[in-house]
Structure 1
Amino acid sequence: MKIKEIIVVEGKDDTTAIHNALEADTIETNGSAISAECIERIRHAQEVRGVIVFTDPDYPGRRIRAIIEQHIPAVKHAFLPKKKTIAKNGKSLGIEHAKADDIRSALENVYSSDETNFQSQITLDDLIDARLLSHTSAKKRRERLGELLNIGSTNGKQLVKRLNMFQITAQQFGAAIALINQEEEHA
């Protein structure tokens, strides 16, 4: 499998994991303190070939996404849930610990963050009704929703923005919530 876009990752170990899974070029941010030079390389890559941001599912990874999104809003995003990025020793997480099949799957399910002409039909009330906010199992349900929709894990405040960013329709949202409810009933 060869990826046309350039994949933005955090470091060398992530690049190695990507190369072990498929054929692709990467740009490494070298952590969450992204330099102006790195932002310009990413901007140029977006103009020439397109960019997929593929960072760790933790605070620094979310911070990197936000910084890139602020400067280059039309990038694509790929996500892996935390449970697929945990090291064998259980002490760290990151793309570098993911299985090649999981990396390929995440990169097959990228989302564009271009929000032009998309108006979400999902409201804050929908999130409350779906027990994604103000509920004892809200965090667990948001994490599962992020897995099912391939949009990553978010906190309650970020969820509406993420659903809009990735143009999740009410139908997609409803189907994912129905599956989560079914899983909980059978657990």
Structure 2
Amino acid sequence: MALKDSGPIVCDDGRARPPWAASDPLLRAYYDTEWGMPVRDERGMFERVCLEGFQVGLSWRVVLAKRDALRGAFYGFDPDSVAGMGSTEHLLGDASLIRNRAKLNAVVKNARATVALRAEGTHLGEFVWGFKPDTTPAPLTMEDVPTSSPESKRLAAELKKRGFSFVGPVTMYALMESTGVIDTHLVGSWRRGCSGVWA
């Protein structure tokens, strides 16, 4: 996806972006408007946890292209509605979705774990933000961007203890990046610092 030793690329609109968001219109729009912006609510975080799980072994572009269909299949990623679903077997025949039985089942399992988390006096958004580190990376190139951290490892372990699936340390690091918990925008890219969380 990204080129080794690759820094920000100045695009045709004069804005610098990482290589993965420099040319593809879908990825560019996602980078420009969503990636790295704070997601703190329960439903929003639940959707992101599920989408990051769908990405395992795939490109993020594939997930984005199927996001609307996944939202349709899973009640807009409303945790309560999804938690009440039975089998996801019927979804395996839908070519508009990512037809991986384990990943589809994980959405229902994760919804039930999300609902259960409320009994701890918190919700999924607050829970994930509880693992925000004291500092954030300042990568100059894609090679400088970590793939996991002590915090993502702890987050993964705590979510697994609570019954979540497809929440490994690398996947949870990607979640923390995409939801603004950390800022791994390349230094020099036009979105660096856009979340307002990190100065």
Task: State the TM-score bracket (shorter-chain normalisation).
Answer: under 0.3
The structure with higher relative contact order (CA 8 Å, sep 6+) is 2
More strand by share: 1
TM norm structure 2: 0.24
TM norm structure 1: 0.25
